Chains A and B, each alone.
Chain A
Amino acid sequence: MKNTLKKENSIIDEAISQDYKYGFVTDIEQETIPPGLSEDVIRVISAKKGEPDWLRDWRLKSYKNWGKMKNPSWAHITYPSIDYQSISYYSAPKEKKELKSLDEVDPELLETYNKLGIPLQEQKMLAGVAVDAVFDSVSVATTFKEDLKKHGIIFCSFSEAVHNHPNLVKKYLGSVVPMTDNFFAALNSAVFSDGSFVYIPKGVRCPMELSTYFRINAANTGQFERTLIVADEGSYVSYLEGCTAPMRDENQLHAAVVELIAHKDAEIKYSTVQNWYPGDKDGKGGIYNFVTKRGTCLEDNSKISWTQVETGSAITWKYPSVILKGDNSKGEFYSVALTNNHQQADTGTKMIHLGSNTSSTIISKGISAGKSQNTYRGQVKIMKNAENARNYSQCDSILIGSECGAHTFPYIDVRNPTAKMEHEASTSNIGEEQLFYCNQRGLSTENAVSLIVNGFCKEVFKELPMEFAVEAQKLMEVSLEGSVG
């Protein structure tokens, strides 16, 4: 994996260091523009994507705002400062270098795929090997698309949505995460590459789990992904983001924005498995993942549920949140964050209660191994008009070894006396007694650790769609390899 990335990086470096031959604004064929960020660059991006003026202006406004903002420093993470002028902001929809067979793929990566039990054809797709026409993610995807169309569901890339459903995009873009929200959201709003758009019409229950996986070949979403999901009145959708397998990825910095909107009686369930390159054992390399995810329960009786399993990235900075605006609305956050070696994760949620009888549930499980730092940061805010709001929070941490750290920062802000709050927290070590007990029953220490950790995460895994849950368990095993003994 490491080698692959290095190789990839050098290919990219080469590409970037070449002189830019074609000038700025005119050429739409060019795949990569030189590093650096300016108004011109944003105009180029917008022009290349053939965007309408309003979106270009929105990007430019975001860029201006971003220029006034500072890189946030409150999180419990350290990393060298990022030179935003050294990044190329338009590299999609560049084709990945296509390999001819699995023999050309890094054996270490293949081994991981095998451990995760990923079928051969999927391995090819993930590793960027040309997939033969017989196999069928494409035709499967087509079948699904027809089925979705029948229900009036829109599920397409963000760029397609801008062209085909401009009114919907215009109405909801930035309505949950305003461009001024934070440094990384502002950056994303200025330069976002692509992403997914979902619209579920009134009263429709989406008949399948929607997964970016089905569009894996359709769009290379790149490092500044933008996702917008709208569930209209009385509708339901379950959306899966990511994939348990490590993907080839050349970009070090990722700053995505996800916005969810649930109308009256609607429900959105959003599940993520994030397994990006975490860097090597010495903490070299790895993805910086700065994501802004937020949903709004816009009207009464709506529900938004986030489930995340975070095992990848060198740095994770992520707080999927819910604004509980409608009365009786519900917000949920189920999280497993695992860090090993030199990984750093600062993740949690915000539950903002505005409506009456709103309720939120937070279950966070942090696992730290190696020399990693794992932080839960969560905020529960009960506003003045939120009568009878309820929150239940449970934050558990488990430590493997003595060189890692687990930290919990719960912020609670209650402005209405009728609120009911419950908070539980625990930190424990994987006990020698537990390990010895498992060993005595014939289980190896490595198996025992994965068993204990999976047991620890059970409350979260049970929220994941079935097949995802099975993969997530295997992923824990792979991610913890070498953490004991």
Chain B
Amino acid sequence: MLEIKNLCAAVENKEILKGINLNVKQGEVHAIMGRNGSGKSTLANLIAGKNNYSVTSGEVYYKEKNIAAISPEDRALNGIFLSFQYPVVIPGVNTTYFLKEALNAKRRNREEEEINAADFMRLIKEKLKEVDLDETYLKRSVNDGFSGGEKKRNEILQMLILEPELAVLDETDSGLDIDALKTIAHGINQYRREDRAIILITHYQRLLKYAVPDYVHVLMNGQIVKSGGKELALELEEKGYSWLEK
């Protein structure tokens, strides 16, 4: 589903990614772990198509197509979803309206009929329960006045409603208490399916206890320095990252 070949990228002439190779197939969950500044968020943003990075070499293939020239919105319409580390506030824009617009953009793209208001309300109320948000949330503006945990749950809610094929979750577990963490993990497990793929980007092992990955990769100084199964996460928890430094 996603194939990254020798990807190098820079921000303002500073090289952040130095040759990333990653292959994510349908049905797989990959965790990418690493310290702050290792390039994790850059990788997530690059997959989603954020344009303030310059790709200096390498390619990203999604569904076997090189997506270098594809705009962020077209990537989204074609099934790539990014759960933001810092979801942005859009004052005055109703959350329900925003989500409905996003869903209908996808539907139009697939040449399906737009969802009507009643069906949408039914859908969103059902998904709200999955992420443990109450209905007052529907009346609020996008991320406006949301607590850290609410913002993260809102991201997962959007994922459940938009049903992407590839979900990249950028530190969706950071700053959460244990109950919220379990809710997020529950949402991820709800979403997980044979025909979908997930990339979990995280500092810590604790999310991976509840949302268990198939593969774990360690990102360090812009390179994947070690890959393994889920047990690698436990090893990292125990030993930290320094033993992997050259």
Contact = CB atoms under 8 A, between A and B. Distances in A.
Interface of A: 431-434, 436-445, 447, 451-452, 454-459
28 contacts: A432-B52, A433-B88, A437-B84, A438-B90, A439-B49, A439-B73, A439-B76, A440-B49, A440-B72, A440-B75, A441-B102, A442-B73, A442-B102, A442-B105, A442-B109, A443-B105, A444-B73, A447-B101, A447-B105, A451-B93, A452-B90, A452-B93, A454-B92, A455-B93, A455-B142, A457-B92, A458-B92, A459-B92
Contacts of A438: 90
Contacts of A432: 52
Interface residues of B, number: 29
Name the residue among A431, A439, A440, A457 with the largest chain B CB count within 10 angstroms.
Answer: A440
B46 to A, nearest CB: 12
B48 A441 contact: no
Nearest to A458: B92
Interface string B54-97: 00000000000000000111011100011010011011110000
Contacts of A433: 88
Contacts of B84: 437, 440
Nearest to B45: A436
Given A439-B72, A440-B48, A441-B162, A451 B101 contact: yes
Contacts of A447: 101, 105
Contacts of B139: none
B90 A451 contact: yes
Given A442-B102, A455-B141, A434 B71 contact: no
A445 B90 contact: no
Interface string B21-64: 00000000000000000000000000011101000000000000
Nearest to A453: B92
B217 interface: no
Interface of B: 48-50, 52, 71-73, 75-77, 81-82, 84, 87-88, 90-93, 98, 101-102, 105-106, 109, 141-142, 158, 162
Contact of A439 (B71, B90, B91): B71
Contacts of B52: 432
A447 B105 CA distance: 10
Given A439-B76, A444-B73, A455 B105 contact: no
Most chain B beta-carbon neighbours within 10 Å: one of A432, A433, A438: A438
Which of B93, B98, B106, B162 is packed against the most chain A CB atoms within 10 Å? B93
Contacts of A431: 88
Given A436-B72, A442-B105, A443-B102, A454 B93 contact: yes
Contacts of A457: 92
A456 B72 contact: no
Contacts of A440: 48-49, 72-73, 75-76, 81-82, 84
Contacts of B101: 443, 447, 451
A439 B70 CA distance: 12
Nearest to B106: A442
A434, A437, A452, A458 — which one has the most chain B CB atoms within 10 A of its CB?
A437
Which 6 residue pairs spanning A and B have beta carbons closest together? Answer: A455-B92, A455-B93, A458-B92, A439-B72, A441-B102, A442-B105
